Amino acid sequence: MSLKPLFHISHEACIKCYSCVRICPVKAIRVDVTNELPSIIPERCIGCGSCYRSCSPHAISFRSSISETKAILASENKVAAICDPTISGEFHDITDYRKFVEMIRQLGFTYVNEASFGVDLVAMKYKTLFENFKGKYHFTANCPSLVSYIEKYYPELIYNLAPIVSPMVATAKVVRQKYGQDVKVVFIGPCISTKDEALKFDGDAKIDAVLTFVELRQLFNEFNIRESHLEFSEFDSPLGHKGSLYPIANGFLQAVDISENLLTGSVITTEGRNNMLHAVKEFDSRIELIRRNFNIFYDEGCLMGPGTSPGGEKFLRMTLVTDYANKRLTTFDKATWENEMDSFANLDLSRQFEPDDQRLPLPDNEKIEEVLKMINREGHMDNEVGCESCGYANCRDLAIAISQGLATTEMCHVFSGHNRQDYIQTLRTANENLAKTKTALKDSEEKAKHEQEAQKESAEIITTMLQNLLSGVVIVDDNLKIYQSNKAFIRIVGEEAAMIDEIIPGLVGADLKSLLPVHFYKMFSYVLTSDEPIENKDVQFGEIKLGVSIFPIRSHKYVGGILRDMYVPEVRKEQTVTRLTEVIDENFEMVQKIAYLLGEGASKTEQMLNSVIDSYKNPGKK
């Protein structure tokens, strides 16, 4: 069963602040362009824990070893706890280290050992290595994050890593040699990357589980183990000497008095994220001029490791470490220590390193320039400087990471700021336009309301006028269904229509075919189909004669009909006057035509006579 990655980002808790991306020294955190959420690339990770410590919403967690440790303690095996010397700085709330030892025993550990003895052994190996200089300079290989960084990003320098195991592994070898090869070993320390370092060793160097100090505190709380409930207990032998100074970066060198003299010493000590990165880079390019061994820790020594309690104060922890070392040394049995050192002098503390190159191919310049153009840095003199707020040293490095799929353009704060300003301006303009649109819409709604009221009023007036006409009026649709009709129409059609009107006012929806005879409603069908009106047509309807006019209202959709009862006195008088007027108009038009023709003939005769007379009076003219 494969282990989970060392670190994990919860996308549910992530707020996309990208602090993890910015702090990661090797850019092992990819930002997915589809959802803009960061995720850790395990094979690129060096386990430094910077992302974990920088994540304010606590969206990043590390692989827990609590369940694994409890299972080991529940087994029938003897179990040894190896405690990193940093405990003296971490557990300042415990008044006496002997109470701390007993608290660990109460968890079920058979043995509780200091890793400071392993520090003494390893430091002695380094002293020998440095003093027997053979032309090659080395890195100390105690910090697992440094080792991983070189294996993955400077694999050509693995031969410069001192081929010596870390104090954790050395102490595991000591414990098994002294207490038996079947002893299970749990390391307790300030570093998260030791969880992965432990996986590389087997046999007498095997580390069965690694607990951080944070996890150890959780176990104390879970089992209600308190200092005030317990008596004193000493560490099991062998005890360390000045190896207890190991948590402080140069304390490792002082453990065996490796010279740090600026004039004559051969070792440079540095600590911290940026210092480590610069130190390795300079070692790679300038070691012939520097001519020193490098003692490097990713964190500020081990004092501020990511597995320690958050909010720790570096100089307080440093003081606690030195105070603890001084206190131990006042009663320290050096002779016994020397004998123990001699008895373990033949332990094999050598190790080898494996290159694990995780460097990505460099994109071509065309692609890089294309990305620089995207983030508005094309052609800038400072595109190799940058503000570093994205987490990359300069704009070009960010462009490379974007090209490699590790970053997004939104990580450039300058670019994002410009985009935000553009967005704000666009939003402001949109809001202004929206306000104008709302005003116009409100005016339009008011206007529409007034028009609707006017239309309603007009419709009421027209309906009133329509109902008071003496002539019958009906409007039908293309299915010959009545759309509207007046009282005169209902009266003309007869009792059946009047009965329907009582149920359906105005006969709305009634079928015209059921109310009028065939020859009558076919005139409506004709007008609907032809779109041509029928004017003043006399139609016999039962015992009455109707004057009918049918006309299109909307082409092929609606037609209107006007029906007049010719026997109604008012209508008869109106029709008589109309028809007399039509006869008079026709006769008058005929008289005008005759007069015109007569007038035209007399004019021609007069012209001919005048021409004859003129010819007799002037015979010489032609």
Cα angle for residues 600, 605, 609 (degrees, 5° grid): 150
Domain 1-63 sits in CATH at 3.30.70.20
Q: What is the DSSP letter of 393?
A: S
- Looking at residue 172, its pLDDT comes to 98
Is the peptide bond between 619 and the residue preceding it cis, with omega within 30 degrees of 0?
A: no
Q: Domain 469-567 adopts which CATH fold?
A: Beta-Lactamase (3.30.450)
- Looking at residue 426, its pLDDT comes to 64
The CA-based diameter of the chain, rounded to the nearest angstrom, is: 178
Closest C-alpha to 32, from 392, 405, 419: 405
In the three-class reduction of DSSP (H, G, I as helix; E, B as strand; rest coil), residue 252 is classed as: helix
What residues form DSSP beta bridges with 337? Answer: none
- Residues sharing a CB contact under 8 Å with residue 512, sequence separation 6 or more, in sequence order: 474, 476, 480, 481, 482, 521, 524
Burial class (CB in 10 A: 0-12, 13-18, 19+), 445: exposed
Phi/psi for 110 (5° steps) reads: -80, -45
- Looking at residue 598, its pLDDT comes to 45
Burial class (CB in 10 A: 0-12, 13-18, 19+), 404: middle
- Looking at residue 263, its pLDDT comes to 87
How many CB atoms sit inside 10 A of residue 157's CB?
19
- Looking at residue 372, its pLDDT comes to 80
**Half-sphere exposure (CA, 13 Å, Cβ side) for 29?**
30
3-state helix, strand, coil in the chain (%, to 5): 50, 15, 35
Mean pLDDT by groups of 10 residues along the chain of 622 residues? 85 90 90 83 95 94 96 96 92 84 96 96 96 95 96 97 98 97 97 96 97 96 91 92 92 90 91 94 96 93 89 90 88 93 95 94 81 69 59 77 76 61 64 80 81 74 76 88 87 84 84 83 88 86 84 88 77 52 50 46 49 51 48
- Give the tokens for residue 509: 């929806």
User: Which residue spans within 254-349 are E strands per DSSP?
Assistant: 267-271, 293-297
What is the rounded CA–CA span in Å between residue 456 and residue 163? 99
What's the Cα-to-Cα distance from 121 to each of 85, 339, 495, rounded to whole Å? 14, 12, 125
Q: Which helix (H) or strand (E) holds 39?
A: strand 38-40
- Looking at residue 36, its pLDDT comes to 80
What's the Cα-to-Cα distance from 24 to each of 38, 267, 332, 592, rounded to whole Å? 12, 27, 42, 110
- Give the tokens for residue 483: 């759309």
In the three-class reduction of DSSP (H, G, I as helix; E, B as strand; rest coil), residue 568 is classed as: coil
What is the rounded CA–CA span in Å between residue 361 and residue 279? 23
What residues form DSSP beta bridges with 80? Answer: 111, 185
Give pTM, 2 decimals.
0.67
What is the rounded CA–CA span in Å between residue 507 and residue 487? 10
What is the rounded CA–CA span in Å between residue 164 and residue 613? 154
The DSSP result for 486-498, as a single string, is -HHHHHHH-HHHH
Query: What is the rounded radius of gyration, in angstroms, for the C-alpha atoms of the chain?
Result: 53
The DSSP result for 475-488, as a single string, is EEETTSBEEEE-HH
